[in-house]
Amino acid sequence: MKKTSKLYAVVHGKCPQCRRGDIFSGSMYGFNIQRTNTNCSHCGFRFEIEPGYFYAAMYVSYAMNCAEMISLGVAAYVLSGGWLDYDSFWMYITVIFTGCLILAPFNYRYSRVMLLHFLSPKIKYKPAYDKP
C-alpha cells in the first residue's frame, strides 16, 4: 500500500498518526451531523489527547472566522461598487453574517483537523500503519 500524503489526510480529515482512519463521522453538511470520533478506526489513536484538548481549536476557528469575515466584507465592497451609506451597511452585515453561518460547519471540522495535524508537536506520522 502506498504512503498517504499529509495534504490528502488534511483535506479528507484523516488521522494524523496513520493517515487512514477518519477523524469525523457524519457529513459536514447534511442530515447526518458530524461528530468527532473518540479513537481512530485504523490505528486506535485517541484524538482528544487530554481533557479539554479541543478548546484550543476555538482559537483556530476564531482566526479562520476573522479571515472569512474580512474576505466577505472586501468582496461585498468590491462587488457593490464601493458604496458606503446606511443601506449598504446592512448589506455588509447580512453578507458577513450569512457567510459566517454557512461556513460554521467547515470551521468546526477544519479547526480540529489543523489543530491535530499542524499545531500538535507530539503527534507524529508513523508509516508502519500504512500496511493494511
Q: What is the pLDDT of residues 4-52, one digit of tens each?
A: 788 999 999 999 988 888 999 888 887 778 888 999 988 888 988 888 8
Domain that holds residue 46: 6-130
Greater model confidence, 79 or 131: 79
The three-state secondary structure class of 83 is coil
Structural domain total, the chain: 1
Burial class (CB in 10 A: 0-12, 13-18, 19+), 16: buried
**pTM, full prediction:** 0.82
Which phi and psi angles does 36 have, rounded to 5°? -80, 125
Specify which of 4-18, 24-38, 60-74, 115-129 reaches the highest per-range mean pLDDT.
Answer: 60-74
Given a cut of 70, is residue 132 above it in pLDDT?
A: no
- What's the DSSP call for residue 130? G
Residue 26 cell numbers, joined: 457524519
Does residue 1 belong to any structural domain of this protein? no
